[in-house]
């Protein structure tokens, strides 16, 4: 029980100190070793031979995805493609449907692989203009951006190249298109329910005489549509990511593909099923980045600087997440963890339920969807996988449920993306978090429960 106390204490400190602004790069190894001390594990050996190897292994698997995803997002931003897509959607939907226009703009961009941070910066000036013209209260802008960026396109819709959909692949031998029917159903429900909620809130606010409001400290640059690519040119890189990824993962790098027997031998010692999802995503992002640069060459101020900014922008997210994976694997090795694992697994015999609960709780504690999922899968991914196989549950369903689960409690008030979004829109938690919480916490958690029910019934 002393070891269990150590694990609980270290998790509590991780949540509190991360919320206070201390980087996970420092917190994760220190607090992993705090948990190890309570279980009488040797400190230095635990750090060098448990924490660091697991951190390094995560980098080996996912660094290309983080790197290329960040470069792709920066290229889409600096070429004007992101703004062109958002502007075109806003024009087509119309100012009277400002909320729907913002949600769709964010959704299309994030579904195409653009970073949610890039999306927030690109869409906010357009959102502010639309909301002002429509008389929609400004405090709903963060909720609209969160709905389009943090929810259905991040975790539910099959094919999304966001990292939250990529992390389960090597654990469950799946691709980003896992459980397409289940993911599509849940994604549509999230979108419809969230949009309805925001429109309802706007209607209620208008009825009591509340409109966009006066914001004297508001700083929003005028939207300049000059030198933007056409919307079709802007969409092509996104289409390349989605289509090429699908072709490679479903028709080229399949279980029946020949010529990959060399993977079983040294120095590779793996199999195609374990890497095909990552390979397909990496190749698709490379092609999309090259295409986006080529067709928008004259629109860049400096291509080299754009690529470099994307590279540097990927470093902190990947290292933060890898550190959390190292933390999770240290906890996994502790004898006391067997008690916690047994308690989690005793909640239900259904691995969909246990994996969803573990992922959601850890995402809430860490304030990170990818971090919470990585800790949960690093510690119990193989257990969930084997339990699913033993019960005849398709690993694709397990992939989709875990991905959806990570996008629930992660968006609690201490979440970094929530804090950044409020900073961009110059609003406070008091003004806007109730709606952010509804569309990115409450509705996704309910949808996760529905995904478990449908997945148990065999919907794939």
DSSP state string for 311-343:
HHHHHHHHHHHHHHHHHHHHHHHSTTHHHHHHH
The span from the CA of 238 to the CA of 137, in Å, is 31
pLDDT the model gives residue 7: 87
Instruction: Give dist(CA 288, CA 112) in Å, integer.
Output: 10
- The number of CA neighbours under 13 Å toward the Cβ of 72 is 34
Tell me the mean pLDDT in the region 402-425: 87
Top-confidence residue, 221 or 130? 130
pLDDT of residue 243: 94
Please give the structure tokens belonging to residue 156.
């539910």
- The structure tokens listed for 195 are 């949009």
- Can you say whether the dihedral through the CA atoms of 418, 419, 425, 431 is positive or negative? positive
Q: So what's the pLDDT on residue 413?
A: 81
Distance CA 402, CA 396 (A): 10
pLDDT at residue 265 in the model: 87
Check residue 231 and give its pLDDT: 92
- Cα(347)–Cα(315) distance, integer angstroms: 37
List, for residues 250-293, the tens digit of each pLDDT value.
Answer: 899 887 788 888 888 888 888 888 788 899 999 999 999 999 99
pTM: 0.84
Task: Name the pLDDT band for 86 (thresholds 50, 70, 90).
Answer: confident
- In angstroms, rounded to a whole number, what is the distance separating the alpha carbons of residues 183 and 444? 12
pLDDT greater than 90 at residue 221:
no
Cβ 154 vs Cβ 113: under 8 Å:
no
Q: Tell me the percentage of the chain whose pLDDT exceeds 70.
A: 97
pLDDT above 70 for 167: yes
Q: Report phi then psi at 31, rounded to 5.
A: -75, -25
Is residue 58 within 8 A of residue 163, CB to CB? The reply is no
Q: What is the Cα–Cα distance from 49 to 310, expressed in whole angstroms? A: 31
161-163-165 Cα angle (round to 5): 70
Q: Examine the pLDDT at 87 and tell me if it is beyond 60.
A: yes
How are the residues of the chain apportioned to helix, strand and coil, as percentages rounded to the nearest 5?
75, 0, 25
C-alpha closest to that of 241 among 113, 136, 143: 113
Section 394-407 average pLDDT? 97
- Kindly indicate the confidence band of residue 164, based on its pLDDT and cuts at 50, 70 and 90: very high
| Residue 449 vs residues 313, 356, 360, 393: alpha-carbon distances, Å | 34, 9, 11, 16
Give the 3-state secondary structure of residue 349: coil
- Distance linking the first and last C-alpha atoms of the chain: 40
* C-alpha to C-alpha distance for 12 and 4, rounded to whole angstroms: 12
> What is the CB neighbour count within 10 angstroms for residue 442?
15
Predicted confidence band at 220 (pLDDT cuts at 50, 70, 90)? low
Burial of 44 from C-beta contacts in 10 A (0-12 / 13-18 / 19+): exposed
254: Cβ–Cβ under 8 A, 6 or more apart, which residues? 276
pLDDT of residue 366: 74
H-only helix segments in 407-438: 416-425, 429-437
């Amino acid at each position: 029980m002393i070891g269990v106390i150590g694990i609980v204490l270290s998790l509590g400190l991780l949540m509190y100190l991360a919320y206070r602004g201390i980087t996970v790069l420092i917190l994760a190894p220190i607090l992993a070793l705090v948990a190890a001390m309570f279980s009488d594990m040797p400190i230095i050996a635990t750090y060098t031979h448990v924490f660091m190897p697991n951190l390094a292994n995560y980098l080996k698997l996912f660094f290309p995805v983080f790197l290329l995803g960040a470069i792709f997002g920066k290229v889409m931003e600096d070429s004007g493609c992101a703004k062109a897509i958002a502007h075109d959607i806003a024009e087509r939907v119309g100012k009277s449907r400002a909320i729907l226009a913002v949600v769709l703009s964010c959704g299309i961009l994030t579904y195409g692989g653009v970073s949610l941070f890039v999306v927030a910066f690109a869409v906010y000036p357009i959102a502010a203009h639309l909301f002002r013209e429509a008389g929609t209260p400004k405090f709903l802008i963060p909720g609209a951006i969160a709905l389009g960026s943090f929810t259905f396109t991040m975790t539910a819709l099959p094919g999304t190249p966001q990292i939250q959909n990529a992390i389960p692949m090597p654990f469950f031998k799946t691709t980003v298109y896992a459980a397409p029917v289940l993911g599509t159903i849940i994604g549509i429900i999230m979108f419809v329910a969230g949009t309805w909620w925001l429109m309802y809130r706007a209607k209620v606010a208008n009825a009591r005489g509340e409109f966009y409001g006066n914001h004297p400290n508001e700083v929003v640059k005028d939207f300049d549509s000059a030198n933007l690519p056409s919307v079709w040119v802007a969409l092509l890189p996104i289409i390349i990511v989605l289509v090429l990824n699908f072709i490679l993962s479903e028709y080229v790098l399949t279980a029946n593909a020949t010529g990959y027997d060399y993977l079983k031998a040294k120095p590779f010692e793996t199999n195609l099923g374990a890497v095909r999802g990552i390979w397909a995503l990496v190749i698709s992002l490379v092609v999309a980045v090259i295409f986006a640069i080529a067709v928008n060459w004259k629109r860049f101020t400096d291509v080299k600087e754009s690529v470099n900014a994307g590279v540097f922008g990927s470093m902190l997210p990947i290292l933060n997440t890898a550190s959390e994976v190292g933390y999770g694997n240290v906890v996994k090795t502790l004898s006391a963890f067997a008690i916690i694992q047994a308690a989690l697994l005793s909640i239900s015999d259904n691995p969909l339920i246990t994996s969803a609960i573990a992922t959601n709780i850890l995402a809430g504690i860490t304030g990170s969807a990818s971090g919470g999922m990585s800790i949960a899968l690093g510690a119990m991914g193989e257990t969930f996988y084997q339990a699913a196989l033993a019960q005849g549950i398709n690993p694709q369903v397990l992939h989709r449920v875990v991905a959806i689960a990570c996008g629930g409690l992660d968006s609690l008030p201490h979440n970094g993306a929530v804090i950044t979004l409020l900073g961009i829109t110059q609003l406070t938690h008091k003004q806007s978090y109730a709606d952010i919480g509804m569309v990115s916490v409450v509705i996704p958690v309910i949808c996760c429960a529905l995904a478990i029910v449908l997945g148990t019934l065999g919907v794939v």
